[in-house]
Amino acid sequence: MSTSPSLHTPIMLRAYCHEDWSSVCAIHDRARPYELEDSCDPQALVPLADEQEDRDNFHRSEKFVACIHEQVVGFIGVDENLISWLYVDPEYFRQGIGRELLQLGLELAGPQAWTVVLSNNTRARRLYASEGFQVVHTFEGSNVGYPCSCLELALKSHPIELFMETTQMETLKVK
């Protein structure tokens, strides 16, 4: 029997608390194979609780969880302008949870928001693109020693912002 919510089940977002650690680790570890798929050697999957650098990065970020009926089903972490963590339990994929978490992350990170995704992680790329992100840099990275192709994504400037920047630059040139 699936515990997936109906389309009308409310999703509650709240601040992460220490008691969420085991749920967050389980979600990360279940969702990570989908992230690595076609992007990195599956052996790059290391449980969150077992990777010291990831744990440190996670704990440094400002974190929120998505809950359905008190059950943690996703989480996001923001470190200044960097959206550093965004995972949803695969059982709850395509339910709008990732989008709600990302929108909260954008409120926290602001207009300079950016993130890094694996180049073949099409789920993440589509979600970020739908919220206004674009590829600004591609690079070869390493995931626990395994090579992978990565994309740095950042929010696109809105046309009015581009107009304002251009107008301000023109004004500065005239002076």
pLDDT, tens only, 130-174: 999 999 999 998 887 888 899 999 998 654 444 444 444 443 444
- Mean pLDDT score across all residues of the chain: 86
How large is the average pLDDT for residues 87-100? Answer: 96
3-class secondary structure, 36: helix
3-class secondary structure, 121: coil
pLDDT of residue 7: 54
Residue at 4 is within a domain: no
Residue at 26 is within a domain: yes
Q: How many Cβ atoms are within 10 Å of 13's Cβ, its own excluded?
A: 16
Q: How far is CA 109 from the centre of its chain?
A: 11
What CATH number should be reported for the domain holding residue 24?
A: 3.40.630.30
Listed range (25-29, 64-68, 153-157) with the worst mean pLDDT: 153-157
Residue at 2 is within a domain: no
* 13 pLDDT tier (thresholds 50, 70, 90): very high
pLDDT of residue 74: 98
Question: Domain residues for 41?
Answer: 12-174
Residue at 150 is within a domain: yes
- The answer on pLDDT for 1 being more than 50 is no
Tokens at 63, concatenated: 């974190």
114-118/133-143 β-pairing: unpaired
CA 62 to each of CA 77, 86, 92, 110, 161: distance values in angstroms, whole numbers, following the listed order: 5, 12, 23, 14, 28
Tokens at 80, concatenated: 């200044």
Write the DSSP string, 127-173.
HHHHTTEEEEEEEEEEETTEEEEEEEEEEPPPHHHHHHHHHHHHHHH
The predicted model scores a pTM of 0.82
Domain count, the chain: 1
* 81 pLDDT tier (thresholds 50, 70, 90): very high
How large is the average pLDDT for residues 70-87? Answer: 96
Residue at 126 is within a domain: yes
Residue at 30 is within a domain: yes
Share of the chain above pLDDT 70, in %: 85
